[in-house]
Amino acid sequence: IAGITQAPTSQILAAGRRMTLRCTQDMRHNAMYWYRQDLGLGLRLIHYSNTAGTTGKGEVPDGYSVSRANTDDFPLTLASAVPSQTSVYFCASSETETSNEQFFGPGTRLTVL
């Protein structure tokens, strides 16, 4: 593993189903983030974690949950998917929450029907 990986690359999901998007980084970064990117809108922060064991809500947290059991992994769960959650999801990390640069994973394209 080099940098940040996300899985799956893409997914089509029926509404009402539960889905977990996976994110793993091998840079030993303390801070991790989940964003969604929709056409015509900027990246919007869903949830973040400044260090293992802690999480926080971003701009659009409703319908999503996260956990940070260790430094490397930061999964994002949709408990009951809805069509408005159709989007491209990016995981990112930075050395600390005040670091200058965030590094992004390749993204997961999710379609909820």
Residues that bind other proteins (CB under 8 A): 40-45, 48, 58, 90, 97-98, 100-107
49: nearest Cα among 70, 23, 68: 68
Min separation Cβ 101 and other proteins, Å: 5
Min separation Cβ 99 and other proteins, Å: 9
User: Rounded distance, CA 90 to CA 34, Å?
Assistant: 6
Strands 76-78 and 19-25: antiparallel
Give the nearer residue to other proteins in terms of CB position, either 48 or 74. Answer: 48
Min separation Cβ 3 and other proteins, Å: 10
Classify residue 39 by burial, with Cβ atoms within 10 Å: 0-12, 13-18, 19+. exposed
Min separation Cβ 80 and other proteins, Å: 27
Are the beta carbons of 66 and 50 closer than 8 angstroms?
no
